[in-house]
Amino acid sequence: MKQKVLILIAVIGVLAAGCMNDDKKPVEESRDMRNNVEQDRDKPLNVQYNDQTPTNMTQVDYAKWGKIALKETKKKYPNSRVSDYQYDTRRVAPDGTITDYFDFTVYQDNTKRLVKVGVMHDDNKLIDMKFEEMS
């Protein structure tokens, strides 16, 4: 019985010594991300939603295809008012073909339609364009 009491006292002593350790542990530094955005405002935002998008992509890259999609959407809906595009996402096929998706709002005869346009391209060459009315 004495042996158990001594072991218990030793364990309590070790635990108490560990609690009284004055060594300072490194504190994880936190950053205010609101300021980070303002500091890096000159860098383009990476608005891609999938992991297949190169990180060095700039807004200029998809803006080119967005302008082409806007022009073709206006041709497809000639008597309509077509809003400026909203970039949606990019998909890269295994063969390297890229498809950028854009969302447009088309107003025709007091009717609002949402149109998704897929622009398939390979580097600087347009391959195909698909239109899908969402509503």
Over residues 17-42, the pLDDT tens digits come to: 666 655 555 555 545 544 444 444 44
- pLDDT number for residue 46: 45
| CATH code for residues 47-133 | 3.10.450.390
- pLDDT number for residue 5: 72
Q: To the nearest whole percent, how much of the chain has pLDDT over 90? A: 42
Tokens of 49: 């939603």
Listed by start position, the domains of the chain span 47-133
Residues 108-124, mean pLDDT to the nearest whole number: 91
Q: HSE-up of 105 (CA within 13 Å, CB side)?
A: 7
CB 70 within 8 A of CB 84: yes
